[in-house]
Amino acid sequence: MANIPIYPGSSSFFPGDTPFGFYDNDYQFQQDADKVTKFCAQRLGWPIENVELQDVNFYTAFEEAVTVYGNELYAYRLRDNYLNLEGSQTSSNLNQAIITPSMANIIRISEQYGTEAGVGGNVNWYSGSVILTGSQQDYDLDVWAQEHGISGSNLEIKRVFYQGVPASADYYYGGGIGLGAGYGTFFGGLGGVAGYGYGTNWFVTPLSYNVAAIQEVELADDILLSAFSFQLINNKLRIFPVPTDADAGIHFWFQYLLKDERLADSITQSPNLVSNVSNANYNNPVYSQINSIGRSWIFEYTLAIVKEMLGYVRGKYTTVPIPGAEVTLNQADLLSSASTDKAALIERLRGYFDETSRQALLERRKNESDHAQSELNKSPMVIFIG
């Protein structure tokens, strides 16, 4: 076996010693690289025991630990803020950004409900009409669509209505229901009541009475007069009652949308917008800006990675012969310890981030406020008499 040099007890970091070089030009990373190397080696038993690694192995573990810390940090930030980030520019570096919650994407998501309810949304509604024909009750709106250059399968009727005379017009001018009889007597001077004529004074009644009277007119029209209703199934329109020759030529209006426009309006194509968690512009952290809390975690995670490396190295030979005996290496112990330590460190870091999420902080602030108010309630209340 070749005589490969192992860690001699000291090291000297130079840019280029790590596999990716993410942090090589950061002065504090350069300073800490050798310190972390010495820390890990001594935790593994050096100088009492040899550590069968070289300085570049320690530097690799250190770089990986910083990168894992950044990944966990920005994955948490992305989970906390993605609803506010979707649709923003990918060119914006988010590492140092303070993201204020916004209703913009919530409104964008809820526009679909406005479309379906006909009170807004992001899909155009169009108007069309069929002309009633005497004795014809059924009208195929797919046929109407084809006559107007629209695919029947692309048509979706949203509203059908017939605009008759408003009940309020009948109430004001129709006569026969309400305050009195005769044309124009509802809000006028009641034909000379108390010596006053129409247009000079008003007979004031509660608005609730007016609303009830208008509803009475509307219900009377529906029951007693020839008012149209309809049934719409699969774009097949059926008119009730059957139109007569006197109804011929009346426009029966409807509103519709085009299904392909609904789909097209739901997709925004742009290579420069955040469309998923993979292109939100979070970069590797700047090592010199990581505080002592983060660096302490990085040092411990580096040690766990180094244990794993050393376990794999020692696993090449289960036992090593020495004069008069054999030495059994501790590969299994190192790998088991490394796996346990890495899992525990990741869990601890994620728990720390969860405790500092926006939701957790607001809940903590609420609890603090409730407890403070509880304390204040126990204080004597002074009544000031001026």
In a domain, 4, yes or no: no
- Domain assignment present for 190: yes
Same structural domain, 259 and 294: no
Separation CA 248–CA 122 (nearest Å):
36
Whether the pTM exceeds 0.75: the reply is no
Assess if residue 168 is contained within a domain: yes
* 5 domain-assigned: no
Same domain, 220 and 344: no
What is the number of structural domains in the chain?
2
Are 292 and 250 in a shared domain?
Answer: no
pLDDT for 189 equals 42
Q: Note whether 259 and 288 are same-domain residues.
A: no
Residue 115 lies in a domain: no
Note whether 285 and 257 are same-domain residues: no
Residues 39 and 77 both lie in one domain:
yes
**What is the phi-psi region of residue 235: left when phi exceeds 0, alpha when psi lies from -120 to 50, beta otherwise?**
left
Tens digit of each residue's pLDDT, the chain (386 residues): 457 789 999 999 999 999 999 999 999 999 999 999 999 999 999 999 889 999 999 999 999 999 999 999 999 999 999 989 998 888 888 998 899 888 988 888 888 888 888 888 889 999 999 999 999 999 999 999 999 999 878 999 998 887 666 777 766 654 444 444 444 444 444 444 444 444 445 567 788 888 888 888 878 776 776 567 788 998 899 988 888 898 888 888 999 999 999 988 888 888 899 989 999 999 999 999 999 999 999 999 999 999 999 999 988 766 655 566 556 678 889 999 999 999 999 999 999 999 988 888 889 999 999 888 888 888 887 777 76
Residue 106 lies in a domain: no
Residues 245 and 342 in one domain: no
Do 247 and 130 fall within a single domain? Answer: yes
Q: Residues 252, 326: one domain?
A: no
Please report the pLDDT score of residue 328 as a whole number. 65
**CB burial readout 103-129, b (16+ within 10 A) else e:** eeeeeeeeeeeebeeeeebebeeeebe
127 and 257 together in one domain: yes
Residue 147 sits in the same domain as residue 194: yes
Long-range contacts of 148-156 (CB under 8 A, 24+ apart): 150/258, 152/235, 153/259, 154/258, 154/259, 154/260, 155/235, 155/256, 155/258, 155/259, 156/256, 156/257, 156/258, 156/259, 156/262
Backbone dihedral angles phi then psi of residue 82, each to the nearest 5 degrees: -60, -35
211 and 318 belong to one structural domain: no
Range of the domain at 260: 121-265
